[in-house]
Amino acid sequence: MALPHLEKLASRYAHMAVEAEKSGDRETAIEYYKRAAEVMGKIIQLYPDNPFRHLYLKQLQEYQNRINYLESLKEPASPGGEPEDDFDLEELVDEKPRITFKDVADLEHAKRILKRAVIYPALRPDLFVEGWYRGILLFGPPGCGKTMLGAALSNEIDAAFFNVDAPEIMSKWLGEAEKRVARIFRKARELEVQGRPVIIFIDEVDDLLGIHDSEVGGEARARNQFLKEMDGILEKGAKRRIFVIAATNKPWKLDIGFLRRFQIRVYIPPPDFEVRKLLFKHYTKRLALDGAVDFDELARLTEGYSSSDIRDIVVAAHHKVVEEFIETKGLYAKGEPRPLTMDDFVDIIRLRRPSITPEMVKAYEKWNEKYGTLA
Ligand SMILES: Nc1ncnc2c1ncn2[C@@H]1O[C@H](COP(=O)(O)OP(=O)(O)O)[C@@H](O)[C@H]1O
Ligand SMILES: [Mg+2]
């Protein structure tokens, strides 16, 4: 089976696992995660030189974490008393995200603001006698580097990094969400007291804090708990190096109570022409390219595409030549796939819609003018 088929298979199993998990069928979910992991393992074994190998390894690790987690839930509950809250905080603490500012293409404006707001106070708290900001919001269209920047930032200051996925906390843990929010902040304070800066990264924060049309009590309680915790670390005189970085694609869903606590709000825009060019260069760095591949033209053809779209285009083009190589030469043939040509890219770009429309950009820019930190 060629790489794209294997990839599809792995992702289909993973998808089925997620579905099974959603419907509460833990056993089936574990079974499907195991199959997904098996296929991913095969990919890693079959394509040891694939430039995206690290991504496959990461994916495999994620499946395995999920399996371990689900299996840990199977342990018999403690006899008598309340069922244990088996929420594993360690799972949220990512000891060392490997991404640095250098891996994030462009976004210079955002990096500068983050240096001033987070890096300098985290590394030289002694100089910031008046204190510093703790709440930072990253907003902008999907796939343009918000999550990446959050991870890179924690690396730059060697912080403990809590990666909190708001929809996950809110959906899976509804009812428990409030307690979990409290525990995350408690653990963060503990680590900070031990001498390490802490970043609590809350992805898709609008899910936690946005106003929902239909709201069950649990959501409001989780939101209030969160605001209370924010006030705790914002307290004057409490010079704690705990930073809460929140990311959202829908800043307009956030209410004023939230915005008041997130005073630095940074727009993460879609890549412009120059940045798209940079991204194509960045993601093809390790691939063989035909001499006629024209980066200016690729950037011109991808107006409205997110950074993540561009990465996907490169991956897809590369997979195409690998598949072609295997199917013409045989699975274990020696040699290399042919270099990527301009046509390979253009074919794939034609098959994809850009994920960012001009209307979306206008909406973000408008919100930025009104609420964003401009300098
Ligand atoms: N500025 C960037 N430079 C390099 N790669 C990027 C950039 N922005 C996004 N990507 C690619 O797209 C993927 C998704 O980006 P992500 O940070 O999750 O976007 P967001 O959080 O804004 O939705 C990243 O893992 C990375 O591969
Ligand atoms: Mg993201």
Q: Looking at the structure, tell me whether residues 285 and 242 fall in a common domain.
A: no
pLDDT of residue 243: 94
Same domain (yes/no): 335, 348: yes
Would the CB of 372 count as within 6 Å of ligand 1? Answer: no
Instruction: Supply the pLDDT for residue 78.
Output: 43
CA of 334 to the centre of ligand 1 (A): 34
DSSP state of 342: H
Q: Is 134 part of any domain?
A: yes
**Residue 158 maps to a domain:** yes
In this structure, are 325 and 344 located in the same domain?
yes
Q: Are residues 65 and 160 in the same domain?
A: no
Domains identified in the chain, total number: 3
**What confidence tens digit (pLDDT) does each residue in 137-150 have?**
999 999 999 999 99
Assess whether the C-beta atom of 104 lies below 6 angstroms from ligand 1.
Answer: yes
Residues 148 and 10 in one domain: no
Amino acid at residue number 193: V
Ligand 1 neighbourhood includes 105 CB (under 6 angstroms): yes
**Ligand 1: does its nearest atom lie under 6 Å from the Cβ of 308?**
yes
What is the CA(143)–ligand 1 centre distance, in A?
5
Q: Which of 213, 238, 269 is the last residue of a domain?
A: 269
Residue 373 lies in a domain: no
What's the chain's Rg over C-alpha atoms?
A: 22
The DSSP 8-state label assigned to residue 340 in this structure reads B
Question: Does ligand 1 lie within 6 Å of residue 151's CB atom?
Answer: no
Q: Give residue 84's pLDDT.
A: 43
Domain membership of residue 259 (yes or no) is: yes
Clarify whether residues 256 and 277 are in a common domain. Answer: no
**Pair 133, 62 in one domain:** no
Low-confidence ranges of the chain (pLDDT < 50): 77-84
Clarify whether residues 41 and 177 are in a common domain.
Answer: no
* Predicted pLDDT at 43: 86
Determine the straight-line distance between the first and last CA of the chain, rounded to whole angstroms: 52
Ligand 1 atom closest to the CA of 149, numbered from 1: 17
For ligand 1, say whether the CB of 163 is within 6 Å of any of its atoms: no
Say if ligand 1 is within 6 A of residue 107 CB.
Answer: yes
CA dihedral 358, 361, 367, 371 (to 10 degrees): -150
Centre of ligand 1 to C-alpha 353, Å, is 17
**Would residue 79 count as lying in a domain?**
no
Same domain, 68 and 96: no
Q: Is the CB of 146 under 6 A from ligand 1?
A: yes
The reported pLDDT for the residue numbered 234 is 82
Statement to judge: residues 215 and 348 lie in one domain: no
Domain span at residue 336 reads 273-358
Please report which ligand is nearest the Cα atom of 307.
Answer: 1
Q: Is 211 helix (H, G, I), strand (E, B) or coil?
A: coil
Q: Which of 269, 285, 308 is the last residue of a domain?
A: 269
- Residue at which a domain ends, from 238, 269, 300: 269
Residue 20 has what pLDDT? 86
**What CATH number did the domain enclosing 67 receive?**
1.20.58.80
Q: Are residues 260 and 112 in the same domain?
A: yes
What CATH number is attached to the domain comprising 321? 1.10.8.60
pLDDT of residue 306: 97
In CATH, what number is assigned to the domain containing residue 179? Answer: 3.40.50.300
Establish whether residue 50 lines the binding site of ligand 1, counting it when its CB lies within 6 angstroms of any ligand atom: no
CA angle 213, 219, 225 (to 5 degrees): 135
Q: Which ligand 1 atom is at minimum distance from the Cα of 148?
A: 17
238 shares a domain with 108: yes
369 belongs to a structural domain: no
Q: Which of 202, 272, 307 is the pocket-test mutation for ligand 1 (most atoms within 8 Å of CB)?
A: 307
CA-closest candidate to residue 293, choices 306, 303, 282, 280: 280
**Ligand found nearest the CA of 150:** 1
Does a structural domain hold residue 335? yes
In this structure, is residue 24 part of a structural domain? yes
